[in-house]
């Protein structure tokens, strides 16, 4: 995160999001089903499509791949997004923990009031 509005006097162009996720139980250890699910939701999982639809640079790290790849991905994304390219100044990062059951219940309740 950076205060681009005040630092550079411009609006942000997008938001960068890296999601570390655990596959739903039905897709764990079932790569064929997971691949079909992934391909069926390319508007979310495809970085170019997410950029167009949501103005978001969206990337995903599947923790199903194990500790080694997750550690490598963490180091990569941290290195890419932790500093401004031009100046090397630190940028902030925000962690948002999601609880699907609690979040889904809250969203359902909110939608029922509309």
Tokens 């609690």 -> residue: 102
pLDDT of residue 28: 87
Q: Which two tokens stand for residue 76?
A: 């990569």
Kindly list the domain boundaries of the chain, sorted by start residue.
4-112
Q: Which two tokens stand for residue 57?
A: 């640079």
pLDDT tens track of the chain, all 114 residues?
Answer: 888 888 889 988 888 999 998 888 888 888 899 999 999 989 889 999 999 888 889 999 999 989 999 999 999 999 988 888 888 888 888 888 888 778 888 878 877 886
Sort strands 56-62 and 15-21 into parallel, antiparallel or unpaired: parallel
Tokens 């995903």 -> residue: 60
pLDDT of residue 19: 92
Element (H, E) at 17: strand 15-21
Contacts of residue 37, defined as CB under 8 A and 6 or more positions apart, other chains included, come to 27
CA–CA separation, 44 and 46 (whole Å): 6
The whole-model pTM stands at 0.75
């Amino acid at each position: 995160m950076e205060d681009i509005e005040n630092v550079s006097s411009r609006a942000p162009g997008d938001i960068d999001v890296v999601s570390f996720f655990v596959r739903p139980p039905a897709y764990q250890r079932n790569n064929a089903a997971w691949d079909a699910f992934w391909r069926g939701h390319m508007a979310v999982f495809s970085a170019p499509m997410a950029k167009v639809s949501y103005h978001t640079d969206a990337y995903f790290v599947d923790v199903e791949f194990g500790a080694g790849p997750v550690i490598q991905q963490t180091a990569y994304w941290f290195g890419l997004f932790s500093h401004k390219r031009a100046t090397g100044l630190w940028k902030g990062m925000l962690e948002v923990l999601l609880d699907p059951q609690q979040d889904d219940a809250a969203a359902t309740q909110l939608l029922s009031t509309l």
